[in-house]
Chains A and B, each alone.
Chain A
C-alpha cells in the first residue's frame, strides 16, 4: 500500500526545483531587435536532467545565461525564472551573486578560457568556497583538494597549486566542475561541457558530471548540440529552434517517436556509428531564420518539407500530444504533429532520401587501382628547447613516428585519433611536398624527394589540394567568391577572363552554389555555404586527392549532412580520393572506405572501415569507439564502456615498447612476461587472418573481454 503510493506519486505533484515561464530575451542590434529567446517554459525537478538541444543561434545558451543572470545589461529579459520559490529575474546583481555558485553551479563550453590564467586552480576553488561559506583558508584548501579528488584529478594536493596552463583541456574541465559543485548547488547548468574535448575525454567528463550529480543530488540542465550526449545523460529533452521550444518529451519517447519535423530532420542528419548501410544522409534544407522581425508563422516553415498554408497563418504553440503510451508528457509545436508517425506522414517519409551516386571506380578492385598517395616510414620530430638566447636541445617530440599508409584512386581514408596524436602534422608533411626527415612520401607516383624544380612541385601540387576546418578563417574576407575560386586557376596559368568565368561558374554549380552569387563576399554566405566554397576552391585545379582537415566539425548538424553528401557525390562523380581527418568517428565511418587510427604519432590500427568498426582489435580503437555517445537512449544505457584513464601523454621519447601501455585496459589483465613484452618491444602493424585489417598490438587476439573492467 505504502509502496504503491510512492510509485504513483508523480513528479508533477511535487514542487519543481526550477520553473521557467514564458522567458523572453531580446538584444538590440544594428539590424533591429534580436529576439534570441521567444517564450520558453519548462520545469525541472530535483535530481533530474533536462537536455536542451538545438543548433547554434537557437537560444539554448541565452536561456541558461538568463537563468544565471549573466546576460549583459542591455539585454531585455521578461517572464519568470523561479528557483525554490524566488523569482531570479527580480534579483539585482548583488542578490543574484548569493544564488550563483551556491544554489546554481555552471560549467562552460571552453575549459581553456574559462579559468583565470593567473590564479592557481586551488585558489580559484578556494575563492568559490569562501564567497559563500565562512571557512578558514586552510579548511577551504582542504575541501578544494577533496573536490579535485572527487572529479578525478590525480595527485590533487600537488595539482591544486598548479596554474590552468599546466592542465590539459579535460583536466581543466574537471576543475571547472569541481568549482561548480563546491557549494553543493541544487542546480548545475552545463553549457556544451564536452564540445571542445576529445571523445575519450568527453566520456570521462560526462562520467564525472554524473558523479557530481549523484554527490550533490542536483538537477542538471545539459545544453548541447550533440544528440548522442543527450541520449546518454538526459531524462527529459527540449528541442529548441529559433528561440522557442519546438518539441519536449522524455528522452526515450523523443528518440523513439519524434513528432516535430525539425527534430526528425536533426535525427536523420547525423551519421550513426552503428550504421553500416551508408545511405545518403538526409540534410535539412535551408538555414535557421534571423531572429529579427519574425513574422507570425512557424519559424521552421521555410525549411519544412511538409509545410501547409496553415503553418504560415500563425506560430503554432507548444501543445501536449495525446497518445503517447509511456505516460510522459510529449509536446510539439507543429500543426501536423498528430499526423506524424515514425518520421513519416501517411507512410511517406517527411524528408525524401537523396539518391546515392555510384562510383564507377569502385567496380575495379582496390589493388588494381593506382596509388595516389603513399607514405612509408614518415617521421617528423620537433626539438624541445630551453633557455632564451642560447637554446639548448633538451629532448625531441616524435609528432609522427614512422607512418605507413597508402590511398588508392577513388578511395577515402579516414584518419582518426585524439588531439595531439599527430594527425595534423601528418597532413602538413604531405602538403609540404618536401622529403620527410625519414621515410618517403609519394603523391601520384612522384616521390617528393625527386621534386627539385619549381615546375615539378606545382605540377604535383595541382593534384593534391586541401580543405580546412574553419570555413570562416580559410576564406579571405576581402576577396569575392570569384576571386577566391579564380586564384588557384590563375596560379596554374589560366589568364583568359572568359575561361575563368565559365570555370568558376562550373565549380560553383558543382558544389551546389548559385553561380549568380560569384561577386559576393564570403561574409554573405552561411557556414555550410562557405565550406562549399572551400571545397570548390580545392577542386579548381582538378586534383586527384583532396586532403580534408576536419571539414565538417565547425558546422551545425543539419548543415553538416549536406556537406558530407556533397563530398560523397563529388567522389563518385569525379573519381576523387580523400584523406579525411576528423575526430567525429560517426562521420568517418559514414564517409570512409578505409580507416587508420593514430595514437601518439603511430598508426595502431588500419583496415577497411566496416572491419575496423565492427571488429576493433587494438584496445585503443575499442576504447575510442566505445567512448562515442550514440543518439539512442536505449543503446546508450545498455552498452558497456571502456573508459580510458588520463590524457594523451606527450610523445617525447622513442624507446621501444607500445606507446599505449600507460592507458591500456588490456595491459592490466596480462601476465607479467606479457606485460614485459608490451613495455619492451614495439608492436608492428600485423595483419591477422590474411585480411587487409592490421593492428599494432601484441595481444589483440588473446582476449576480447576488455570492456568489463574500467
Chain B
C-alpha cells in the first residue's frame, strides 16, 4: 500500500533517536521566570501587573489586545520582581514580566473547571481564548481565531496534526503516547465547537507506536488515524491538508478556504485542560536535544523558563555551544544566548557544537533545479532569490513569493548553500511594504 503524502518536500535525517524513547519529565522551576508579553502571532498582550504584585499560577498577567491576541498567565505562584524588556526569542529585548517563584506553585482559586457537555460553541471558544491557547506546533496562532471562520466559510473537516516532521523534535510524539486521553478529549471539544462528527489525526509512520496506540483508542470516538509517509514539511498546515484530504489551499488563502481546520495534538491537550480543569496555557512539552547534549530529554516546561535552565536539566553539553536553535532545525529560530525564555511556541531547544555544524560558504547557483523539485508550494526559489538580490519586488511578486511557507527545503537541498529562504523572506517584506504603501 502506498502511503498518503503531498507533492514535493524531502526527508532529512530525522535524528529523533535521542529522545523518542524518553518519557516526559517535569522540569523543576528556575530561580526566575521571564514571561514575555509577545508569545503569539498577532498583537502582543498588554501587561496588567506591576512590580511587587503577588501572583498565583494561572492568573492573567497580560490581557489580550484585539481579536487576534490572547492573554498571558503566570506560570507559577510568586512575586513579580520586574516588568521590563528582557531578551526574547525574536532576537531583541521585549517587554516581559519577571516572576520569582515562591515554591508553592499554587493555582489561582478562581479557576473553575467546566463540563464541555453543558457549554455551547461560543462559550467554549471564549474559554479557549481566555486560557491563552495558541497553536503549539510552533507557529503560535491563537486557537480561537482558527475556530471562528467568517460567515460563508463552511468547515467540514477537522485535522489533528501529529506529524512532527521537524528532525530532532519528539515532544508531540511523547504527548501522543502519554497524554492520548487529553488529546482525544480536546478533539471532542473541537468537534463540538465546529459542529463536526469526525476528525482525522495525521501521523507519520516513523512513529509506529503512536499510530498503534491512537488507532486503538480513537476507534470508539469516530476519530480516524491517518498514517502518512515520512516527508518534510508534512506538518505544515497546507501540506498536511493535501496529504490527508487531497485538497489544495488556494494561493493566498487559509485552510478554512477549503473547509478545513488544523490543530496540533499538543493544542488539543491544552484545550482539554482549559475547559475541564480551567487551567490556562502555562506549561508545554519541549524536546531538549542535540548531538552534544549529555542527557537529551523531553521536558514539561513552565512558560518563561530560561533556556540555560533547560540545558542544565540535561546535564549540559559536552563542549561549547556554537548554535542554539529554538524549535526544529529546519524552521526554528537561532538564538543569541541561552538567557532567552521558553515561550508557548517553544517545541524544542537544539544546541549544536562547532563540530556538529556544516560550514561551507555560499557559491554561485549552478541551476541544478533541486530547490524547485523539493519546494512543497511548487515555486522557483532560485528565481525568486535572484529577484530578491536585485530588489525586483514586482517580479518576485509575479513569481508568487508571498506563497512561500519558509519551510527551508530549498536552502537545505541547495548544493551551493545559497541563503534562499532568507532571500525570499527579505523580498516578501519588500512586497508587503509595497502593498501597504499603494
B partners with A: no
Which B residues are within 8 Å of any A CB, using their own CB? none
Which A residues are within 8 Å of any B CB, using their own CB? none
